[in-house]
Structure 1
Amino acid sequence: MLTTTTTKVLEPAELDDALAVLNRDPVANAFVAARVQAAGLDPWRLGGEMWGWYSAGRLQSLCYAGANLVPVCATPAAVRAFAERARRSGRRCSSIVGPAGPTAALWSLLEPSWGPAREVRARQPLMVTTTMPAGITPDPLVRRVRKDEMDVIMPACVAMFTEEVGVSPLAGDGGLIYQARVAELVGSGRSFARFENGQVVFKAEIGAATAHACQIQGVWVAPEYRGRGLSETGMAAVLGYALREVAPVVSLYVNDFNLPARAAYRRVGFQEVGAFMSVLF
């Protein structure tokens, strides 16, 4: 029994305790929860370590330390403990992302040793809906991407990523990891697009998914097709798939400076319920 505050890497046997923490906020924690439910807590399968912060012998907060560093239900004391552990181990992640408050506190402690960041997105509204929109007809041409369409969807995914993140996902390993992730989404039936003349004109994916909530990501409209309402009708179509087949709550997060996207999501019925923050390296 742990009787004082302490931080350690969780063992696979602590899965139920970890899930109990994640389920406190199934929407905000969807990304980490989906990974834990699929892979458990074994670091090799999980793609990183799960740090736990304990108080009076009870697991109170988590921090996923993999390609991203993600605080989960992190109290101020837990944030300080996670920052100290992260400083000791050195930066191995490409970003810090999570609920805005704890993430900002974590970055303020890590910036002296990990900074400067390539970019800090201090407020990314978290938006949620549980119903289909009134007054917007889902685009009937938006459908699941087939496995034999990887060569068509991949350029659109690269364009979206580069536009959104500011660097190409093909850098470093030639895009092998990114291509594998796109293939995983296509293979699992969670990649959607509208095709015209052999070209992707709209696309989006259902990324993180649990029984409680799922997250739409990678929303993109080809530049020459923007301003025609395809993002709204396309999102309505993807939302329909998500609500029918995946989870009763659908979320996404968006950069606060992307006013057109925020307005489009509101028209589709999404409402802001919180905010994320991302620190990109």
Structure 2
Amino acid sequence: MSLGRLAGRARFCVRCRSPRPFMPVTVEQLGPHDAEALRGLLSKDPVHNLYLLGLLEEFGIAPRGRVPFAFYGRFDSQVLTAAVFVGGDGGLVVPSASDAGATSVIADALSSRLTLRSTVGDKSSVDALLRSLAPGKPRLSRTQRLFSVSADDLGPFTNPLLRLAKEEDLPRLLPLAQGYVREVHERDPLAEDPRGYEARVIQRVRQRRTYVLEENGALVFKVDIGSRSQYGAELEGLYTLPAERKKGHALLCLGQISRHLLSSLPRLTLRIDERDESTARIARKVGYLAGRTWRLVLVE
């Protein structure tokens, strides 16, 4: 039985996990009536909560289709102080940019009901999740730096040839998408789930979230809009074919898409592996500023 079904809207005492209504500190699954409170919490730090703000705007606070997900919140005297997104029964867990102690309270409440398989977010909050939900050694752990930019910070780098990907690009796009996952996640998505991964790539194309650069009939660069809301967008999947690197493609195309998106959005973010100094230098040239440390973890 899921946490959200237990005792309806009764709140649960965090220490004893018994149904005691109106305790000062409680954890519960959020519903439609909590949407404004969740949006208010996340918008206090929009840079570090852009991913969750995009999920909230795109999917809402409760599932309307077949894909299962939920938001869980920590309430202190009925005030929402932290939240955690759980997608696919633990397939993706994302904490809000809140105090790690508050995130830990949610993790403890979910520990007997949730199997965490992957998580990304502010490092201290992700560490708090892992202590309760995945105490063993993960398959992969990456420390990342969150970069952000606004229109006032942009440099002069552009490439007007960057364009939205089309469905007919799929045979040439898949190797780039596959290459990115191999480098960042150290796994081959086409070997593990070829139909499922191809469907996810084409879905992003249909949603107008993938941009590509074509040269001499070949796609040499791609970037995705991972999450988007009125508060901004998070870019991901920045990838240049190895043979085409050090030619300025990433610099000019990152500048181009940033300028394009910032004509209608207040900010953009981009997560970069702390070992990837080359991409970090490109981001800084475009105008991105380094923020807090994030962590990406794949448990399975």
TM (normalized to structure 2)? Answer: 0.85
Q: Find the residue that maps to 2:108 and give its secondary structure.
A: helix
Overall identity of the aligned pairs, in %? 23
Residue equivalent to 1:264: 282
Moved more, 57-66 or 98-107: 98-107
* Distance change in 2, residues 1:184/1:27 (3 Å): farther
Shift of 1:89: 1.5
Residue equivalent to 1:167: 187
**Whole-Å Cα distance in 1 between the matches of residues 285 and 101 of structure 2?**
39
Asked if 2 retains the 8 angstrom alpha-carbon contact of 1:130 and 1:243, the reply is yes
1:203-256 C-alpha deviation (Å, 9 max, x unpaired): 1112201111111111111111111111101111111221124x1201101010
Asked if 2 retains the 8 angstrom alpha-carbon contact of 1:201 and 1:221, the reply is yes
Residue equivalent to 1:197: 216
* Distance change in 2, residues 1:31/1:223 (3 Å): same
Paired AA for residue 208 in structure 1 = S
Match of 1:252 among 252, 270, 289: 270
Asked if 1 retains the 8 angstrom alpha-carbon contact of 2:100 and 2:124, the reply is no
**Whole-Å Cα distance in 1 between the matches of residues 229 and 84 of structure 2?**
19
**Whole-Å Cα distance in 1 between the matches of residues 192 and 33 of structure 2?**
35
1:30-82 C-alpha deviation (Å, 9 max, x unpaired): 11211111221224546411111111111111001112111114334422222
Asked if 1 retains the 8 angstrom alpha-carbon contact of 2:53 and 2:231, the reply is no
Q: Find the residue that maps to 1:254 and give its secondary structure.
A: strand
The answer to whether 1:179 aligns with 2:198 is yes
Shift of 1:4: 1.8
Asked if 2 retains the 8 angstrom alpha-carbon contact of 1:124 and 1:253, the reply is yes
- Structure 2: gaps spanning 5 or more residues: 1-20
Paired AA for residue 36 in structure 2 = D
Aligned length: 274
**Whole-Å Cα distance in 2 between the matches of residues 54 and 35 of structure 1?**
21
Shift of 1:196: 2.0
Q: Find the residue that maps to 1:41 and give its secondary structure.
A: coil
**Whole-Å Cα distance in 2 between the matches of residues 116 and 59 of structure 1?**
31
TM (normalized to structure 1)? Answer: 0.90
**Whole-Å Cα distance in 1 between the matches of residues 189 and 111 of structure 2?**
26
